[in-house]
């Protein structure tokens, strides 16, 4: 079956968006396409229909393929809980917590599982487009690798290397990678492409020719800066560094950037609204005094980030915000923080311990080892939504539920709301994607929704990116490299 792998000269060079765009491009040409990432490291995750979890980027890429996300699309997911440790998720299920050094020694044992998932996708698709992680030129990580060349060799998949010209030194990045790769890995790379170019592309013709001459790799083209990518959910918290908010609008929403912030794409639909100024507040800065709403987001380490929040003085800012009559929303870990107490007796998310919460809701949470992963449908403020739960912990004491859940099990999360309606919390992610639910929420602030269902925004952005890639890249050449025999057009 046909397959192609994009690897990069580093993290955040745009691999995820390029894979999504190529998935949509080939899907638009009538092919059954599937995305695949052997190993991902991200705290932004999505729940699959079969009750597992995968990286949010692979869920977006599945959408680009017009396919249902499955755990096979991202069989190994690492969710960082500290600087040296992460929760390991294998084929959608939590498989323990690993220290970084120990994982590097043992990850090779996961390669058969990774290849097995890839083969299943091959069996149902005309084309599988694979995304690497980080860079294959990180030679200190090459032993036991399952994310880049280790996988590419095991599955016999050709590689195209992506360079990010926006960072500068792209010639050195690509040529340097060719120099440090060993012979077998070097031969596995069949070509390169340049991403994130701004300006007249003819100005870099000589640079591309130099890279090709020095490496012997085929030049598959150069992608301009993709403005439509800003309308896609971001996978990594790196993107939040460029999402500070703008001019004062009808509603100002502040989101503190917790050290292990997770699933922050929950708020992308709000950011897309013209009346909303969504501000991600970095460490070292106070929460803005003019905020109408403060959102405590999800986190991969609730107790640790509760301490981090206090270290930043955000608890003091939040108390002042509440005294001024401001509203507060807690989602998942943020919901847990809003309660009276959070306990982790078994050390599920770090060292065992407990701490007083912020005391803004009458709930208490005990973190437990069994993770809840399930799709959720219901109503928020009388308007319909579709979302999902993804959390450890059981929260009790919610006297006044905030959400209405359809056919929920006994432990379904209805959330909690304060008597005055100004403090809200729930475990459910994805509350704002549906236009009606987002409109009902914004109405509390006297604002209107002008976007509609956010899915349409994302879908249109994927089509726009696919169209740009068709004109910028050698699509027939990529198709031949992947092993496609069906006609895919000339691009452009």
- The set of catalytic residues is 332, 429
- Give the position of tokens 């399930």: 374
Is residue 407 within 8 Å of 348, Cβ to Cβ?
no
Is residue 68 within 8 Å of 81, Cβ to Cβ?
no
Burial 145-183 (b: 16+ CB within 10 A, else e): bbbbbbbbebbebbbbbbbbbeeeebbebbbebbeebee
Element (H, E) at 295: strand 293-296
DSSP-assigned states of every residue in 36-53: E-SEEE-S-EEE-TTS-E
DSSP-assigned states of every residue in 413-444: ---EE-TTS-EEEES-B-TTSSHHHHHHHHHT
Alpha carbon distance 461, 332 (integer Å) = 28
- N residues, the chain: 492
> Widest CA span of the chain, in angstroms?
69
Distances (CA, A) of 200 to 9, 195, 203, 205, 225: 23, 14, 6, 10, 11
Is residue 50 within 8 Å of 70, Cβ to Cβ?
yes
In terms of DSSP H, where are the helices of 7-110? 15-28, 56-65, 100-106
How many Cβ atoms are within 10 Å of 423's Cβ, its own excluded?
A: 20
Alpha carbon distance 316, 66 (integer Å) = 46
């Amino acid at each position: 079956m046909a397959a192609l792998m994009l690897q990069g000269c580093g993290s955040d060079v745009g691999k995820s968006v390029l894979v999504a765009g190529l998935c949509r491009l080939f899907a638009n040409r009538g092919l059954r396409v599937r995305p695949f990432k052997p190993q991902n490291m991200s705290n932004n995750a999505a729940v699959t229909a079969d009750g597992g979890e995968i990286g949010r980027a692979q869920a977006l890429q599945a959408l680009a393929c017009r396919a249902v996300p499955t755990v096979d699309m991202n069989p190994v997911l690492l969710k960082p809980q500290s600087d040296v440790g992460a929760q390991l998720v294998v084929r959608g299920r939590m498989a323990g917590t690993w220290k970084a050094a120990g994982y590097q020694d043992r990850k090779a044992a996961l390669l058969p599982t990774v290849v097995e998932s890839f083969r299943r996708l091959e069996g149902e698709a005309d084309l599988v487009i694979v995304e690497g992680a980080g860079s294959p030129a990180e030679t200190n990580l090459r032993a036991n690798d399952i994310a880049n060349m280790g996988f590419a060799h095991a599955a016999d998949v050709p590689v195209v290397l992506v360079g990010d010209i926006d960072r500068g030194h792209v010639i050195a990045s690509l040529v340097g990678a060719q120099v440090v790769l060993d012979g077998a890995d070097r031969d596995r790379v069949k070509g390169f492409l340049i991403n994130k170019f701004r300006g007249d592309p003819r100005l870099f013709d000589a640079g591309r020719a130099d890279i090709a001459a020095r490496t012997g790799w085929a030049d598959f083209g150069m992608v301009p800066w993709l403005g439509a990518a800003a309308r896609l959910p971001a996978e990594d918290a790196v993107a939040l560094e460029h999402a500070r908010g703008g001019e004062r609008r009808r509603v100002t929403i502040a989101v503190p950037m917790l050290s292990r912030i997770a699933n922050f794409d929950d708020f992308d639909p709000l950011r897309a609204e013209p009346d909303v100024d969504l501000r991600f507040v970095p460490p070292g800065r106070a929460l803005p005094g003019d905020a109408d709403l403060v959102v405590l987001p999800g986190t991969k380490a609730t107790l640790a980030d509760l301490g981090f929040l206090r270290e930043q003085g955000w608890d003091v800012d939040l108390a002042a915000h509440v005294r001024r009559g401001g509203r507060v929303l807690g989602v998942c870990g943020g919901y847990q923080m809003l309660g009276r107490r959070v306990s982790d007796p078994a050390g599920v998310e770090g060292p065992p311990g407990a701490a007083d919460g912020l005391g803004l809701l009458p709930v208490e949470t005990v973190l437990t080892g069994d993770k809840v992963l399930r799709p959720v449908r219901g109503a928020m403020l009388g308007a319909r939504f579709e979302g999902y739960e993804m959390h450890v912990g059981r929260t009790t004491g919610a006297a006044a539920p905030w959400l209405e859940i359809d056919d929920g099990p006994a432990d379904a999360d209805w959330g909690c709301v304060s008597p005055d309606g100004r403090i809200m919390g729930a475990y459910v992610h994805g509350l704002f994607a549906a236009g009606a639910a987002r409109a009902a929420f914004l109405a509390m602030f006297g604002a209107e929704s002008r976007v509609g269902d956010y899915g349409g925004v994302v879908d249109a952005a994927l089509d726009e990116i696919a169209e740009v890639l068709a004109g910028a890249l050698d699509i027939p050449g990529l198709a031949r490299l992947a092993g496609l025999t069906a006609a895919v057009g000339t691009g452009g």
